[in-house]
Structure 1
Amino acid sequence: MRGGAPNDRAVRRIVNLELHVAHGCNLTCESCSHYSNQGHKGMLGLDEARQWLSPWAGRLDPQIFSLLGGEPAINPRLTDFVALSREYFPQAHLRIVTNGFFLHRHPELPRALREHGNAALRLSVHHDGPEYREKLAPVYELLGEWQREHGTHLVIYPSVGQWTRRYKGFGAAMEPYDDRQPRSSWEHCTAKVCPQVFEGRIWKCAPLAYLGMQHEKYGLSEAWKPYLGYAPLEPGCTDAELQAFFDREEESHCGMCPAKPERFALPSPIPRVTRAA
């Protein structure tokens, strides 16, 4: 276990901490806050994950540690991330957030979840159309087997009806809302307790953490410049800086998201190529 506080440094209790184990996704959910519908690729390796997490072990005490993406089951080492998570956050409830479609690639996952304990699969159901439900049927069947044989803790989260736009447009044409009401944006934010560990630093939320990837791929407009300048929490931060980071509510960068979220009916997120297959 690597959860002891080094040099008696202050430990900050937080609700949740998240780690992308894959940036790509098999679905194309419009206005995804992680930009997983934008064609990004790349997976996190175990050694790299250790480098990212080790500075925070003993300084952060998350109630929940979440493995996600993208779609985490795209990463062939997903099962190994269960043990790795326990190395650094042994007391946290481990949560794997998945759309479920690639879980069949990880037959050892339910055994690992049972052995390490205090863990759950959170199945996010993104759509309620007949095509989506048909493709999800074998996922439910598999998860039923895991529950019967391994006692897998399953939480089904119906994302249907909860979709809001996080930005305008797509790709190079993507634009921030820039409503200049960061307090209102923060109050309406669904990611208040979703800080990200990315490149060894802590980011306030996924839209800020992965915005640089989006800019590198598409070359975003000048409107994004203030938000691309966001400074995450560095691993060498002082205790005071760490406490201030997690105490902070709204900040100017929250203005990239809408002050009054716009709900919309999500089109089918199943890619056309998949539909034709």
Structure 2
Amino acid sequence: MTYHIENGKVVTPEGCELNVAHHCNLGCASCSHLSPVFKRSFIEPDTAQRDLHLLARSFRAQFVKVLGGEPLLHRELVPILRSVRTSGIAPRIIVCTNGVLLPRMGEEFWAAVDEVEISVYPGRELPAEKMARVRQFAEEHGVTLTLLHYTHFRYSYSEFGTRDDRLVQRIYDTCQIAHIWRCHTLFEGYFFKCPQSVFIPQVLEGGPDMWRDGLRITDDPGFAERLLAYLQDPTPLGACRNCLGSAGLRMPHEQRTRRDFRTPQRHTTEELADRDFLALLDGTPDADDGCAVDTPEEWRARLRETAGATAARADTTANTVKGS
């Protein structure tokens, strides 16, 4: 299903994202929103309300994802959720969280959402008793609870980028974030095709102009047509020169500090791109990226496999050093 205009509004088959906090209480390696790099930063509720209501005049989504960073860090999250609802931009509200703070959320939060999506990371999963309490809250309020168990991440960007225009185009064309999942992002009065085009320029010194990658939201009669043209434009964004889209090399999940988060990305795009997966995406745009599994059993099995492979590499390295 593609974008189309209906009753003067651009309709997307997917959703729209609102990042309410840039920072996070975790430091996941290669976080695609670069949250470990950002200091404490929240969206103002008035800004969210203004932008949501203005965009809703020309855009309709199937859902709005409220995320970050870690959205549950925002003390005024409930008023923002209410603004999403009253804007009428979408019939469904999804909050995406790592779940660590979820047991603290009160009745007002659970009454304001339709779905809570928890990204479960190794060593950061909720204890059984707290998870049982979360499930109870969700059931009492008719909230769908979705758990995504992550074992791996893919490198999300390159500090040095690439000068290869063909590679940039290929990364853009196969980007699941922009074209399959359609993680379109609302930020400071602008509409962006993806969150990476918002966050990468804020981190890289001398990087691309963030605002040139977005579209200023207005209420004039021609905005819906401009928005549709923007979404259908085949030209890569400025951020694509450093972004790896969906094609970064896969690595086991780990936690990093603000100080060392950027170090692994200090390579060129050519060094960090997974050429085999990129070739797969060329023919299978919705190919599984191998980062998350559906069940806890699969999750634990893959973690054991990863730990075993890591230990084997360490033994090989030690024997090589010893033999030399």
- Same fold by TM-score, threshold 0.5 exceeded? yes
In structure 2, the partner of 1:246 is 231
Change in 2 beyond 3 A, CA 1:45/1:16: same
Q: SS where residue 230 of structure 1 aligns?
A: helix
Task: Answer yes or no: is the 8 Å Cα contact 1:179–1:258 preserved in 2.
Answer: no
- Give how far 1:195 is off: 1.1
Q: Which runs of 5+ in 1 are unaligned?
A: 114-118, 169-173, 272-277
- Find the partner of 1:263 among 250, 254, 279: 250
Distance 2:194 2:130 in 1: 29
Distance 1:74 1:197 in 2: 19
- Give how far 1:64 is off: 1.4
Task: Answer yes or no: is the 8 Å Cα contact 1:122–1:156 preserved in 2.
Answer: yes
Distance 1:92 1:46 in 2: 20
In structure 1, the partner of 2:268 is none
Task: Answer yes or no: is the 8 Å Cα contact 1:17–1:62 preserved in 2.
Answer: yes
Q: SS where residue 213 of structure 2 aligns?
A: coil
| Paired amino acid for 1:96 | V
- How many residues end up aligned between the 2 structures? 244
In structure 2, the partner of 1:176 is 161
- Give how far 1:179 is off: 4.8
- Give how far 1:270 is off: 8.8
| Paired amino acid for 2:110 | P
In structure 2, the partner of 1:76 is 75
In structure 1, the partner of 2:192 is 203
Distance 1:150 1:22 in 2: 25
- Stretches (4+) displaced over 6 A: none
**What is the CA deviation profile of residues 203-228 of structure 1, one whole-angstrom value per residue up to 9, with x for unaligned ones?**
1211111234324xxxx2x4x24x64
- Give how far 1:35 is off: 1.1
Distance 2:161 2:253 in 1: 19
In structure 2, the partner of 1:233 is 215
Change in 2 beyond 3 A, CA 1:72/1:178: farther
Task: Answer yes or no: is the 8 Å Cα contact 1:167–1:256 preserved in 2.
Answer: yes
- Superposed, which structure 2 residues align to 1:17-56 within 5 Å? 17-56=16-55
In structure 2, the partner of 1:132 is 124
Distance 2:230 2:97 in 1: 28
- Give how far 1:249 is off: 3.9
- Give how far 1:189 is off: 2.1
Task: Answer yes or no: is the 8 Å Cα contact 2:64–2:92 preserved in 1.
Answer: yes
Would you say 1:189 and 2:187 are equivalent positions? no
In structure 2, the partner of 1:111 is 111
Q: SS where residue 42 of structure 1 aligns?
A: coil
Structure 2-normalised TM-score? 0.67
Change in 2 beyond 3 A, CA 1:196/1:140: same
Distance 2:211 2:223 in 1: 21
Task: Answer yes or no: is the 8 Å Cα contact 2:157–2:248 preserved in 1.
Answer: no
Change in 2 beyond 3 A, CA 1:79/1:138: farther
Distance 2:44 2:199 in 1: 17
Change in 2 beyond 3 A, CA 1:82/1:186: same
Q: Which runs of 5+ in 2 are unaligned?
A: 259-324
Q: SS where residue 33 of structure 2 aligns?
A: coil
In percent, how many aligned pairs have the same letter? 23
- Find the partner of 1:145 among 122, 133, 136: 136
Change in 2 beyond 3 A, CA 1:263/1:250: farther
| Paired amino acid for 1:121 | V
